Amino acid sequence: MNIFHHFEDIVRGALGSLQTDGTLSADTDFARVTVEPPRDTSHGDISTNAAMVLAKPAGMKPRDLADKISTALEATGNFSAVSVAGPGFINMTLQPAFWQTRVADILGAGPAYGASEIGKGEKVNVEYVSANPTGPMHVGHTRGAVFGDALANLLEKAGFDVGREYYINDAGGQIGVLAESAFLRYREALGEDIGDIPEGLYPGDYLKPVGKALADAHGDKLLNMEADAREEIVRLAAVDAMMDLIREDLALLGIEHDVFFSERALHQSGKVETALQRLDGMGLIYEGVLDPPKGKKLDDWEATPQTLFRSTNFGDDFDRALKKSNGSWTYFAPDIAYHLDKYQRGYTHLIDVWGADHGGYIKRMNSAVQAITNGGAALDVKICQLVRLMRDGEPIKMSKRSGNFVTLREVVEEVGRDAVRFMMLYRKNDAPLDFDFAKVTEQSKDNAVFYVQYAHARIHSVLRNAKNDEGLKGVDLSDAALVGADLTCLVDEAELGLIKQMLQFPRVIEAAAEAHEPHRVAFYLFELASLFHSLWNKGKDQPDLRFILAEQRDVTLARLALIRATGYVIASGLGVLGVEPLEEMR
């Protein structure tokens, strides 16, 4: 479906013929040859850098080689014009009929348009959100959640077999604090006056129902129970309740994971030991003492021997601790086991989506994955930079300590799922993002969500009008009928421009999937919407360019086919972003 692959083949074929006649040697490497649409449309439809890349190995001047390649390309009969330009670019131009008939392809594919096979069904694991189950999600989690979800959609669209996963940190010290906090609420539910929640515990009201449920289920039996057994019960109840809260929050964004992977279960299954033994067997674990961190004073620093992983063998800055000074595992150890587990479940591509504050963790995780899978799995950690919430141009202050943070729910309820999702994706993941409440609900071109959805709504508005048009009474306007329209009626530059932009979509999907960058889809959609709005308005100045011309049925059908196809592309792209393509906005 990506037409550029087709022309890549044609260019390779032409280069092959130059190998046959001896212009290029038989072992010429074509890896650096690209076949792309030129940035500037006045340079034609398709462009290749072949002559510039191959000039040196061929011992020729780029322009001379370009002439030869150009001749070979002309001989294929695929192009209406082939020319050499600039330092040696070869620009190819196609007959309008080629573009026009592609509209039928898009209509045929419908909302599935843009799907690609480059993933070859390979298994990709996307781990995202993975927020600690200690409370509802706040706005800080939102970006990573949306990003991971869209990336998973994108990879699916590109032909990968995607697993969406959430790692539950239900084994650490924070969970102990959570259990303690929940136990307090339990005592409260039994009628005890617990006063203020002590510093360091979770003060949120969301733990009250947990206490209530524990009281309902156990009466006062927990009060006199042995501490370990009690904590076990409270802990499980609290984590379950928190995960329910988190799942509800995620549902507000339309996010659903395939697997919720428990760190606790990992410990209990003995997989942490197994994984570490595996590293030990490779000679990558030793007992040693780390140097104190430089340039930063630590009062309680002690030079204690620790169990360390030789991450420096894999490019890390220093070796990393696997056990704490009290002998228990660090966070790192089970994480290694977890990533090994993913690999053993068949995932050769691993993607982790983290917040910016975990950036310092990337090298060691990469090292660990490289080591423990013996290079069998590739890990790509995507960092999402911070989101700055703005209201009326002023940043909203949040402090964790006071519990004064904006929750995910509050944001979604105020501006809507679509706006949240789109805006979180309308920025590169590693760039900070300002999220302005006023801006994301504004109905103007300054708000990309609106602008794209508006284009889609306008398309459906025209389709509705066509259906109700007296002059088109009884005319079949179904997709099946539109596919058969005389598409050669689409001759205006703006119409052809729109078609060409639509044909970029499969390329955008593939490039975005390979780069793990869903934001490219969002930017693409903005451009596509812009071309559509432009065409729409052209019909104001030139009535003969309007979509519905009752007295010219052929033209009307062709144009309805064009905008129906445009609607599909927008819907397809928005589908990747997880944003609804609205059919009406009034």
Rule CB under 7 A: is residue 6 a binding residue for RNA?
no
Q: Which of 21, 31, 39, 478 binds RNA (CB under 7 A)?
A: 39
Rule CB under 7 A: is residue 295 a binding residue for RNA?
yes
Q: Which of 21, 29, 40, 544 binds RNA (CB under 7 A)?
A: 40
Nearer to RNA, 41 or 71 (CB): 41
Rule CB under 7 A: is residue 93 a binding residue for RNA?
no
Q: Which of 26, 540, 544, 551 binds RNA (CB under 7 A)?
A: 540
Q: CB neighbours of 585 closer than 8 A, spacing ≥ 6?
A: 453, 454, 457
Q: How far is the CB of 297 from RNA (least distance, A)?
A: 10
Rule CB under 7 A: is residue 53 a binding residue for RNA?
yes
Phi-psi region of 516 (alpha: psi -120 to 50; beta: other; left: phi over 0): left
Angstrom distance (rounded) from CA 163 to CA 190: 43
Q: How far is the CB of 213 from RNA (least distance, A)?
A: 24
Q: How big is the CA angle at 28 (ends 26 and 32), to the nearest 5 degrees?
A: 155
Q: Which of 187, 212, 264, 520 binds RNA (CB under 7 A)?
A: 520
Q: 189 near 212, Cβ under 8 Å?
A: yes
Angstrom distance (rounded) from CA 139 to CA 410: 9
Rounded to 5 degrees, φ, ψ at 164 are -105, 125
Q: How far is the CB of 298 from RNA (least distance, A)?
A: 5
Angstrom distance (rounded) from CA 368 to CA 351: 14
Q: Which of 298, 399, 474, 551 binds RNA (CB under 7 A)?
A: 298
Chain residues 220-259 in contact with RNA, contact rule CB under 7 A: none
Q: 429 near 519, Cβ under 8 Å?
A: yes
Q: Which of 245, 433, 449, 579 binds RNA (CB under 7 A)?
A: 433
Angstrom distance (rounded) from CA 355 to CA 100: 45
- How many CB atoms are closer than 10 A to CB 467? 12
User: What is the three-state SS of 141-154?
Assistant: HHHHHHHHHHHHHH
Rule CB under 7 A: is residue 143 a binding residue for RNA?
no
Q: How far is the CB of 219 from RNA (least distance, A)?
A: 31
Chain residues 377-396 in contact with RNA, contact rule CB under 7 A: 383, 385-386
Handedness of CA 277, 283, 289, 291 (dihedral sign): negative
Chain residues 311-330 in contact with RNA, contact rule CB under 7 A: 317, 320-321, 324-326, 330
- Secondary structure of residue 53 in the 3-state scheme: helix
Q: Which of 87, 288, 346, 471 binds RNA (CB under 7 A)?
A: 87
Rule CB under 7 A: is residue 100 a binding residue for RNA?
no
Nearer to RNA, 59 or 77 (CB): 59
Contact characters 103-122, RNA, x per CB under 7 A: --------------------
Rule CB under 7 A: is residue 361 a binding residue for RNA?
yes
Nearer to RNA, 77 or 295 (CB): 295
Q: Report how far apart, in Å, the C-alpha atoms of 14 and of each of 98, 112, 377 are.
A: 20, 32, 37
Task: Return the structure tokens found at 221.
Answer: 């039996």
Q: Which of 25, 95, 488, 537 binds RNA (CB under 7 A)?
A: 537
Rule CB under 7 A: is residue 47 a binding residue for RNA?
yes
Nearer to RNA, 383 or 411 (CB): 383
Nearer to RNA, 296 or 473 (CB): 296
Rule CB under 7 A: is residue 416 a binding residue for RNA?
no
Rule CB under 7 A: is residue 533 a binding residue for RNA?
yes
Q: Compute the residue count for the chain.
A: 586
Chain residues 438-497 in contact with RNA, contact rule CB under 7 A: 443-446, 450-451, 454, 457-458, 461-462, 465
Nearer to RNA, 188 or 263 (CB): 263
Amino acid at 34: T
Binding piece for RNA, criterion CB under 7 A, among 208-216, 369-377, 416-424, 542-550: 542-550
- Tell me how many residues contact RNA (CB under 7 A): 104
Rule CB under 7 A: is residue 60 a binding residue for RNA?
no
Binding piece for RNA, criterion CB under 7 A, among 9-17, 72-80, 172-180, 338-346: 172-180
Q: 145 near 520, Cβ under 8 Å?
A: no
Go through 337-373 and write b for each residue having 16 or more CB atoms within 10 A of its CB, e for each that does not.
Answer: bbbbbbbeeebebbbbbbbeeeeebbbbbbbbbbbbb
Task: Return the structure tokens found at 556.
Answer: 């009307």
